[in-house]
Homo-oligomer: A and B are copies of this chain.
């Protein structure tokens, strides 16, 4: 194990890039290898067993890239597969649900938290369970927003349609009196301006992915595997099971890295 090995990130598509952007900001010495399973996106409506299998496919791909840590940068995959994968691998593996839950508990003042995510994530009740295990007195209101992922994957996340879908879905929270809303899907931070605009400034938005990176940083330090070499700019690598062109467009725009030269891979 060398501290210069990459950290592996995986997602059902481009959503995990919101986590990678934060990783590049908070951990500029760390090399990123990313796999987005765009060809089989979205994961949200799929049965848990299938999501688990797909998550193993991505895990095995990242292990073959010789990563030192794996981040399941996808809430649906975290809910379905984190526990099993963490137990089976020797390298640290972390998901996005517990970091998002902790951040929400830290942020709420009125003890009323909202959670939005895919059908898979919301059906698993993974956020509500995680929040209640730590803080039983908190009220959690959860809502599946199945159309959000498609808006992002189709690069429609700034459109008037997106604005309407966000408003229609989030009106569910109008009478819930939440002061904190967990974006429990790594695609959702791309919709953040629309979401914040609709719920208002008095609601704190929790970006589970950004929180996860702080905790990645902690594990790197705890296990003494952080890369302290800042003399060489890390060479990141991006892979998708889908069409690299659309992936490159969204990623280039979101990460502001110019052309990423994303590679296509098949499982």
Contacts and interface: CB of A to CB of B under 8 A. Distances in A.
A228 B29 CA distance: 36
Please state the number of chain copies in the assembly.
Answer: 2
A217 B133 CA distance: 12
A236 to B, nearest CB: 17
A237 to B, nearest CB: 22
Contacts of A26: 102, 105-106, 134-135
Contact of A214 (B92, B103, B133, B226): B103
A99 B218 contact: yes
A contact residues, range? 20 to 34
A136 interface: yes
Interface string A17-45: 00000000011110000000000000000
Given A136-B230, A230-B136, A218 B102 contact: yes
A135 B218 contact: no
Interface majority SS on A: helix, strand, loop or mixed?
Answer: helix
Contacts of A133: 226, 228, 230
A267 interface: no
A221 interface: yes
Interface in A100-120: 102-103, 105-106
Contacts of A221: 98
A222 B223 CA distance: 12
Interface string A62-95: 0000000000000000000000000000001010
A92 B103 CA distance: 21
A215 interface: yes
Nearest to A103: B214
Closest 9 A-B residue pairs measured CB to CB?
A: A136-B230, A133-B228, A215-B218, A102-B217, A98-B221, A102-B214, A26-B106, A26-B105, A28-B135
Given A28-B137, A99-B218, A134-B217, 18 more contacts: A26-B135, A27-B134, A28-B135, A28-B136, A92-B222, A94-B222, A102-B217, A102-B218, A106-B210, A106-B214, A133-B226, A133-B228, A133-B230, A134-B226, A136-B230, A218-B218, A218-B219, A219-B222
